[in-house]
Structure 1
Amino acid sequence: MIALLSLYADLAVGLVMLFLLMSLLVSGLNEAFVRLLSIRSKFLWAYLRDTMDGSDEQGKSWLPAKVRDVFAALPFQRDPRPEFSDQPAPSDAAPAPTAAEEAPAPMTERLYERVQEIDHPRTGRTSIANIPPERFAVAVVEMAAAEPEGVEGLLGKLQELKSPLHGHLKGVWEGAQRDMDRFRQGVEIWFDAEMQRLSMLYKRYVKWVVAVLGLLITLIFSLDGVEFAKSVLRDNGYRAAVAAAASGGPEVVEQLKVKCTQPGESSDLAGCITETLSSPALIQALGNAVVSVSVPAEGDPSVQWNGGAWWDRLTTWTHWPGFLLTYVALLFGAPFWWDILRRITGFKRS
C-alpha cells in the first residue's frame, strides 16, 4: 500500500513539475513580449488619453477594443505615451496659459509633468506603466492649484475641452462638498477603482497571448502529457528493478542484462544503468522538441535538429490527446501549478 502511494506521489510530482516548468516558460515569453513592446505602459496611457483628452484627431479611441488591435495597432502603429523628460516635476504649480498664449498642452501631458519623477531614465517615450492612486490624486490637486479658480477652474477647462474626465471629477467634487481634502481622497478612490477595472481588462487580453504561446510551446516541444505519465511509471519500475538487482536478485540482473544488450545500447550493465537513470522522464519529454539538446557523459553538450522525429510525432493522432492535456494544463498558469506542488510536497513559505 505504501509503495502504491509512493508511486502515485511520484507520478503527481512529475506531472506537476512538467506543467510548472512549461508554464514558467510561457509566462517568461509573455513577459518578454510585453516588456519589449512596452504594451503595459502603452495600455495605461491609452486609457489616460481616452479618459482625460478623449479620442484622437480622427475620432478614434486610443485604447483599442479588439484583441488583435491591442497587440498590433497599440504596439506598432499608435504610441499614446508622452515624450520622456529627464526634468523633475516643477516644485510649484505652473500658471495656466492665457487665451493670448499658445494652446494648453493636453491633460495627459500636464499629468505626466506631475508624475514624471517616477519615470525611468530612458530616451524617447515614457516607460511609466503604473501610477499609484495617491500620486494621481495629488497630481490632480496640483493641476487644480494651477488654475486661478482652483478645482472649479479645472472643471471648466475640462468641460471646454470636452474631456470625459470632467463628469468624473465633477461628481467627486460635488460629493466632497467642495472640500479639497475630501476631493483628493475621492479622486484617489475613483482612480483606484478604475485601475482595478483596467487591470482586469488587460488580463483578459493577455490571456489570449498566453493561450497562443501555450499552444506553440506544446507543439514545439511536442509535449504528450499521457506519454510523460507512462514514462514516469516506467522510471519507477526501472528503479525498483535496479534496487532488486542491488539486493542480489539474479533474475532481475539477467533482465537488466537483456535490456542493456539490445541493439544500439551499451553492453556494460553499470554504464547502461547509469545512462538510463541519468535520463529521467522529464529529460526525455523535453528531448522531443524540434531542436533538442543532448548532454553526453563526456564532452560538451550538443544541439541537434530533430525535425523528422518531431514531425512524425505531430502527425501521429495518438499523441494528440496528450498534446491537448498538456495545452489545457498550461492554461492554468505557473502560480496554479506552484501552489499544487507546494501542497503535494508540503513545502511552506518561510
Structure 2
Amino acid sequence: MSSSYLDVVLGLSYTFLAVSLLCAATREAIASLFQTRAKVLLDGVLTMLHEPAGKSSLRGILPSLQRLLRLDGGFRLDQPEAASLAAEVMRHPLIRGMAQRGRMPSYIPSAIFARAFVSTLTTRYGKGQTAAALLAKIGNEGLTRTLLAIMGEGPDDVAALENAVRIWYDTVMERISGWYKRRSQFVLFLVGLFYAAAMNIDALQLSSRLWADAELRDGMVAQAQLAHTAGLPVDAAPTALAHTRAARAQAQQLQKLPIGWPSPRFDGVDGVWTFTVALTFALIGWVATAFAASLGSPFWFDGVGWLLALRGTGAKPPAETTAAPTITIALPTLRK
C-alpha cells in the first residue's frame, strides 16, 4: 500500500541516484584527464620500493598540467634527478609498452611488474648472481630487508626474488586501492557539493516540496520506477570524452527535477538575519545532498529498488486456483 512518507523517501532517493551518477561521471572524467589512477599507481610503486622522496615530484600544479597535456615530464621519469630504481623500473619496455606516449598505465599485473623489476636489476648489475647479491647492490636497506624477509629461508635465486616482488607488489597495491577508494569518495563529496550549490539541489527543500505536492510526488515515483527498470548505465568506452558526455546527459536529466535557481527559500528575505537563516538551511541541504552523492550510485540504485519493492506497484493479482471436482453420490431409493 502506498504511503506519503515512503513516496517522499523514494523521491529523495531517486534524486540522490541522479546526482551520484552525475558526480561519478564528473569524477571519472577528471581522473581520466589528469591520469589520477596512474599517479596513484606510481605512488604505490614508490612506497613499495621505499623511495618516499619521489612522491613530492608528482604533486603540484605543473606536473598536473603536464599530465593533462600528455607531456613526457608529467610523471618525472625522464629527468636526471628522478634516476631512481622506481623510475627505471617504470621506464622498462614491459611497462611503457602498456600505455601511449605521455601516459602511464593505470594498472600493471604483478607478474609483469616483478619481471620488469628483476630485469632492471640484472641489466644494472649483471646476470648469474644470487638474489641477496643483487639486492645488496641497490643500496636500499628497507627494500632489501623486506624482500629477503618475504623470501625467507628458501632458494636464493632470481626466480625466488621475482616471486617475492610479486607478493610484495600485491600487498602494497591492495592498500593503495583502499586509499584510492577513500579518496574517490571524498572527491565525490566535493563534486556533489559543487553541483548541489550550482544547481540548488537542496535536500531539505526538496523533501518539503515532495511532502506538500502529491502530483510532484507521484511523478518522482514514476521516474524512479523507470530509472530502476532501465538499470545503471555501463561505461562502454572509459575515456574522458565518454565520461564527459555521460555527465552532460545526467545534468540534463537532473534539470527535469524540481530543483534549480531561483530558490523559493530566499523569497521574502529582506534582512541580514533572515538571509543568514535561509543560507544556513540551504547549506545544510547542500551538504546533505553532497554526502548522499558520496555514497555512490550503486547504493542509491539498490535503495530505490528496495523502496519500490516495499512500496509495491499495486494490488497483487489473485492466485489461480483449481476448483475441486464436484462428486455426486446417488443414494439408493428405499421402497416400502
In 1, Cα distance between the equivalents of 2:209 and 2:21?
22
Normalised to the residue count of structure 1, the TM-score between the two structures is 0.59
How high is the sequence identity, in percent, across the aligned residues?
A: 22
8 A contact 2:48–2:168 mirrored in 1: no
* Cα-to-partner distance string for 1:141-163 (whole Å, 9 max, x where unaligned): 4345543314234213212xx37
Q: What's the secondary structure of 1:79's corresponding residue? A: helix
Of residues 14, 17, 20 in structure 1, which corresponds to 2:14?
17
Q: 1:131 aligns with which of 82, 95, 108?
A: 108
Deviation of the 1:183 alpha carbon:
4.0
Matched position secondary structure for 2:105? coil
Measure, in 2, the Cα distance between the counterparts of 1:174 and 1:282. 61
- 1:237 Cα deviation (Å)? 4.8
1:165 lines up with 2:160 in the alignment = no
d(CA) in 2 for partners of 1:338 and 1:184? Answer: 43
Maintained 8 Å contact 2:8/2:207: yes
Distance across 1 between alignment mates of 2:118 and 2:23: 42
- Residue 54 of structure 2 aligns to which amino acid in structure 1? W
Q: Which residue of 1 aligns with 2:94?
A: 115
Query: What is aligned with 2:239?
Result: none
Larger relative helix fraction: 2
Q: Which moved more, 1:24-33 or 1:331-340?
A: 331-340
Q: What residue number does 1:224 align with?
A: 202
C-alpha deviation, 1:16, in angstroms: 0.9
Q: 1:38 to 1:284 in 2, by over 3 A?
A: closer
Q: How far has the Cα of 1:239 moved from its partner?
A: 8.6
Q: What is the CA-CA distance between 1:15 and the residue it aligns to?
A: 1.0
Question: Once the 2 structures are TM-superposed, how far is the Cα of residue 19 of structure 1 from its aligned partner?
Answer: 0.4
Give unmatched runs, 5+ long, in structure 1.
56-60, 84-104, 241-279, 290-305
The one-letter code matched in structure 2 to 1:285 is: P
After superposition, what is the alpha-carbon deviation per residue over 1:2-34, rounded to whole angstroms, capped at 9, x for unaligned? 243xx3443232111100111121122222112
Structure 1 outlier segments of 4+, above 6 Å:
308-315
Native 8 Å contact 2:20 2:297 kept in 1: yes
Counterpart mapping for 1:1-350 below 5 A: 2-4=1-3, 7-49=4-46, 51-52=48-49, 54=51, 61-64=53-56, 70=59, 72=61, 75-76=64-65, 79-82=74-77, 106-112=84-90, 113-116=92-95, 119-121=98-100, 123-124=101-102, 126-146=103-123, 147-148=126-127, 149-159=129-139, 162=140, 164-178=142-156, 181-237=159-215, 283-286=256-259, 288-289=260-261, 316-317=278-279, 318-346=281-309
Using the TM superposition, give the Cα deviation of residue 324 of structure 1 relative to its aligned residue in structure 2, in angstroms: 3.5
**Are the counterparts in 2 of residues 42 and 75 from structure 1 also a CA contact under 8 Å?**
no
| Counterpart AA for 2:156 | R
Distance 1:208 1:73 in 2: 23
1:47 touches 1:63 (CA, 8 Å); kept in 2?
no
CA distance in 1, matches of 2:9, 2:202: 15
User: Shift of the alpha carbon at 1:225?
Assistant: 1.3
Number of equivalenced pairs: 255
CA RMSD of aligned residues (A): 3.9
